[in-house]
Amino acid sequence: SQTIHQWPATLVQPVGSPLSLECTVEGTSNPNLYWYRQAAGRGLQLLFYSVGIGQISSEVPQNLSASRPQDRQFILSSKKLLLSDSGFYLCAWVGGRHYNEQFFGPGTRLTVL
């Protein structure tokens, strides 16, 4: 069966510090991968998605970036965090019987102070 991992689970970082969140998927090959942010009281916001190694599409202009160095690895980064980057970050992949049915990882809670 397929599983999706994210780490770290929680992170507290000062403003201006760098960020690296990692997502890996097991049990599938060439998945479409997604990064979402969920701010308090708001819906899921799509940040990036990737259909393959080295292929990144950005949905929202911001100080975050994403990379896909391996087929089942998706990384979310920032060179300098802002207070507004605080939130719950979710990685997801597409699979299942229904096209674009998304399966989400456990999430990373990021607090920028």
Partner 1 sequence: KNQVEQSPQSLIILEGKNCTLQCNYTVSPFSNLRWYKQDTGRGPVSLTIMTFSENTKSNGRYTATLDADTKQSSLHITASQLSDSASYICVVSAPGGGADGLTFGKGTHLIIQP
Entry field: residues in the chain:
113
Residue 63 has what DSSP assignment? S
The label of the residue with tokens 């507004």 reads 84
Question: For residues 81 and 105, which CB has a smaller minimum distance to partner 1 in the complex?
Answer: 105
**Restricting to residues 15-44, which ones interact with partner 1 according to CB under 8 A?**
32, 34, 41-44
Question: For residues 13 and 44, which CB has a smaller minimum distance to partner 1 in the complex?
Answer: 44
> Of 12-20, 66-74, 77-85, 90-98, which part binds partner 1 (CB under 8 A)?
90-98
CB of 97 to partner 1, least distance (A): 8
Q: Which of 80, 89, 67 is nearest to 8 (CA)?
A: 89
Check: CB of residue 39 under 8 Å from CB of residue 90.
no
The dihedrals phi and psi of 86, each to the nearest 5 degrees, come to -60, 140
Footprint on this chain of partner 1 (rule: CB under 8 A):
32, 34, 41-44, 46, 49, 57, 59, 88, 90, 92, 94, 96, 98-107, 109
